């Protein structure tokens, strides 16, 4: 059984070290928050200008002036702080965020990532993704391993317009965990999801995939 979206998020949460400051993207990345406990002392940053983001509010707690970067209502914590957009991205661009977990359409062995637009379709926008991948210390991608049509999203080279060049460190998909080995232009298999075979992951991965010596 490959990992579910929830299991991908749970696996991604394990990459976050105690005390990390983390920015979570929209989609599967948002689910990662469910797998952080108080002991982990993880602080979530939201690029619209908030550090120390709490969970979604109970109905009576809803405050229209407290939203995350996905425009969802959230709550504040006793140690939250708010700041301007310029200050927020100074924090991101300046390398102060330890990790960003983002979705992607494509990731390449050289660390390239594409997640913002598809030629021929109208771009919805860039948002904060380009700033995050360029500025955050460790970029972790969580996504389905293949498109709905079955095409590998882990590629030798990205085909879509890039969000960032040579920025991704780790990719976590329904099939497993893959490290971007930029020097050797390949992905190194770190972990397989339970019930996924080496054959399956090789078959579904277009990028060069190093699995030699991998023990399940």
Partner 1 sequence: MSKIFASPELALKDVLSDGMTIMSGGFGLVGNPESLIPEIKKAGIKDLTVISNNCGAEGFGLWMLLEARQIRKMIASYIGDNKLFEALYLSGEIEVELNPQGTLAERIRAGGAGIPAFYTRTGVGTIVAEGKHTEIFDGVEYVRERWLKADLAIIKGWKADPAGNVVFRKTARNFNPNMGAAATVTVVEVEEIVDAGDLDPDCIHLPGIFVDRIVKSTLNEKRIERLTISE
Enumerate the active-site residues: 47
* Binds partner 1 by CB under 8 A, chosen from 1, 94, 120, 150: 94
168: left (phi over 0), alpha (psi -120 to 50) or beta: beta
Nearer to partner 1, 85 or 197 (CB): 85
Applying the rule CB under 8 A, the residues between 23 and 52 that interact with partner 1 are 41, 43, 45-52
CB–CB of 139/168 below 8 Å? yes
DSSP notation for 134-187: HHSSEEEEE--SB-TTS-BSEESS--SPPSBSS-EEEEE-SSEEEEEETTTTEE
| Binding status of residue 65 toward partner 1 by CB under 8 A | yes
Nearer to partner 1, 58 or 183 (CB): 58
Closest by Cα among 45, 38, 3, 5 to 22: 45
Nearer to partner 1, 81 or 216 (CB): 81
| Binding status of residue 172 toward partner 1 by CB under 8 A | no
* Binds partner 1 by CB under 8 A, chosen from 11, 164, 174, 176: 164
Strand order in the sheet with 186-192: 76-82, 50-53, 43-46, 21-24, 99-102, 138-142, 168-172, 176-181, 186-192, 209-210
Nearer to partner 1, 35 or 82 (CB): 82
* Binds partner 1 by CB under 8 A, chosen from 19, 118, 190, 202: 19
Q: Which stretch binds partner 1 (CB under 8 A): 81-89, 148-156, 172-180, 207-215?
A: 81-89
Closest by Cα among 166, 159, 146, 167 to 118: 159
| Number of residues binding to partner 1, judged by CB under 8 A | 68
> Which residues here bind partner 1, judged by CB under 8 A?
18-19, 21, 41, 43, 45-52, 55-59, 62-67, 70-74, 76, 78-86, 88-97, 112, 122-131, 134-135, 161-166
């Amino acid at each position: 059984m490959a990992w579910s979206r929830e299991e991908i998020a749970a696996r991604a949460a394990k990459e976050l070290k105690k005390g990390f400051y983390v920015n979570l993207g929209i989609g599967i990345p948002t689910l990662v928050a469910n797998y952080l406990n108080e002991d982990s002392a993880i602080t979530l940053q939201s690029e619209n200008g908030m550090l120390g983001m709490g969970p979604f509010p109970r109905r009576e707690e809803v405050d229209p002036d407290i939203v995350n970067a996905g425009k969802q209502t959230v709550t504040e914590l006793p140690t939250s702080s708010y700041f301007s957009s310029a200050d927020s991205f100074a924090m991101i661009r300046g390398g102060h965020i330890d990790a960003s977990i983002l979705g992607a359409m494509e990731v390449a062995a050289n660390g390239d990532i594409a997640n913002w637009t598809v030629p021929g379709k109208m771009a919805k926008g860039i948002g904060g993704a380009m700033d995050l991948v360029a500025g955050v210390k460790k970029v972790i991608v969580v996504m389905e391993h293949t498109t709905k049509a079955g095409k590998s999203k882990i590629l030798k080279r990205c085909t879509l317009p890039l969000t960032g060049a040579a920025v991704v460190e780790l990719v976590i998909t329904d099939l497993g965990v893959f490290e971007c080995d930029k020097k050797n232009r390949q992905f190194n298999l770190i972990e397989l999801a339970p019930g996924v075979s080496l054959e399956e992951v090789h078959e579904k991965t277009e990028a060069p995939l190093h699995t030699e010596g991998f023990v399940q």
